[in-house]
Structure 1
Amino acid sequence: MRVAIFSILFLISTVFQPAMAASKAEIDAKVNGALKQLYTEIPSSKELVANSHGVLVMPEVIKAGFGIGGEYGEGALLINNRTDGYYSTASASIGLQMGAQIKSQVILFMTADALNAFKSSGGWEAGVDGSVALATLGAGGALDSNTLQQPIIGFIFSNKGLMYNLTFEGSKFTKLDR
């Protein structure tokens, strides 16, 4: 069933890609805005980003569902504060769900091996090809020390909407031709 849902999402994103696709300039502007918002909401993230080998920013991931759900977003991989490539994320789900939301996702590749594994994949799936440690804040807004030791750290923030889902599991990231 999961394969069927991914097939449907792939077909929809392939057929409607030209209509949905943002330009490089639009993606870059949204990526910069998302990083500024991340630094405002979680100030300690700025140092982590500076120390990472790569930063994948998905500024607007839209999720909607009524029994069967899906999500899609576009963003960029930054290496040394420069865009290295543009990516999309997509996932599908089945279960008790209804509503829609928009969220921002930032994934930090803290090791060269983690970044290289992501870049060399034909389609990288969170939880399968690499485990993403969701950043959690402890007392006083400090990041959890266990999270800081992980090779891949993720942030989900600015959640807007009536559906609430804070996970990377099942999200597939694919390089865009731009």
Structure 2
Amino acid sequence: MSAPEALVERARVTLDSLTSDPNFSWLKNYLKYARGVLIVPQFLKGGFIIGGSGGSGVFLAREPQTGRWSEPVFYTLVGASIGLQIGANAAEVLLMVRTERGVEAFYSSTFKLGGDAAVAVGPVGMSMEGATPHNLSADILSFAKAKGLYAGLSLEGSVLRVRSDWNQLYYGKAVGPMDILIQKAVSHPRSAPLQQRLEAIAAGR
């Protein structure tokens, strides 16, 4: 199994880890309204980049009319000084993209959260199941889990960069976000378990 294939499988495991946790019931219940998700199985504080944080993840967009999820695009999420306020060195991270503007930001090879797309911390806690997000203007809501702690990861100012090398390795040819998300020019059989799990959660299963 290649590194990109392993990351897709780890993303599925991370998705299950978050959505099976009662503290992320809001995320699970409102995933059906998402326009896309970025899943980072291991977001590291320090060591990844001196004085910073980062991790690799996959982004999938949801077709509003059909509810089908796209093939994954590989990204690196880097924060120059954001750190983990939740008191841990590593976290599972999911970004729920709520708007078309948020999805369009992922068409670029590089973009900044809070600049090209507004980001806010998503509702977390068992009492938040039916809550309204505190920042309705945000294009993206972030969710993080580390060592039993559930909040405090600020992604404002962090940067997302396409991993072109991993996209090429996974799909067998050079492709960019537009090729994968809009033109649907490629596919990979190992994407199916993650796509199907996203569809099942959005359908309430």
Do they fold alike, i.e. is TM over 0.5?
Answer: yes
Identity %: 25
Does 2:3 correspond to 1:23?
Answer: yes
Corresponding position of 2:118: 131
> What TM-score do the two structures reach when normalised by structure 2?
0.62
Distance change >3 Å, CA 102–CA 166, structure 1 → 2: same
Specify every segment of 5 or more residues in structure 2 that has no aligned partner in the other structure, as ranges: 62-67, 168-205
The letter for the 1-side match of 2:81 is: S
The secondary structure found in structure 2 opposite 1:43 is helix
Corresponding position of 2:194: none
Shift of 1:150: 3.9
Shift of 1:93: 2.0
Aligned residue pair count: 150
Corresponding position of 1:4: none
Corresponding position of 2:36: 54
Where does structure 1 differ by over 3 angstroms across 4 or more consecutive aligned residues?
146-151
Corresponding position of 2:52: 70
Q: Find the aligned partners of 2:90 and 2:108 in 1 and give their Cα distance.
A: 26
| Larger RCO (CA within 8 A; separation ≥ 6) | 2
Give the RMSD, CA atoms, in angstroms: 3.0
1:61-100 correspondence to structure 2 within 5 Å: 61-64=43-46, 69-79=51-61, 80-93=68-81
Distance change >3 Å, CA 146–CA 158, structure 1 → 2: closer
Q: Find the aligned partners of 2:4 and 2:34 in 1 and give their Cα distance.
A: 23
Shift of 1:149: 3.3
Asked if the contact 1:138/1:144 (under 8 Å) is kept, the reply is no
Shift of 1:136: 2.5
Alignment equivalent of 1:176, drawn from 163, 166, 170 = 163
Specify every segment of 5 or more residues in structure 1 that has no aligned partner in the other structure, as ranges: 1-21
Distance change >3 Å, CA 77–CA 124, structure 1 → 2: same
Distance change >3 Å, CA 45–CA 146, structure 1 → 2: closer
Shift of 1:124: 1.4
Tell me whether 151-160 or 69-78 shows the greater mean CA deviation.
151-160
> What TM-score do the two structures reach when normalised by structure 1?
0.70
Shift of 1:122: 3.0
Asked if the contact 2:37/2:95 (under 8 Å) is kept, the reply is yes
Q: Find the aligned partners of 2:125 and 2:26 in 1 and give their Cα distance.
A: 12
1:96-115 correspondence to structure 2 within 5 Å: 101-115=89-103
The letter for the 2-side match of 1:174 is: R
Distance change >3 Å, CA 106–CA 138, structure 1 → 2: closer
The letter for the 1-side match of 2:154 is: T
Tell me whether 33-42 or 46-55 shows the greater mean CA deviation.
46-55
The secondary structure found in structure 2 opposite 1:83 is coil
Alignment equivalent of 1:146, drawn from 128, 133, 140 = 133
Asked if the contact 2:99/2:140 (under 8 Å) is kept, the reply is no
Corresponding position of 2:12: 32
Shift of 1:147: 3.7
Larger relative strand fraction: 1
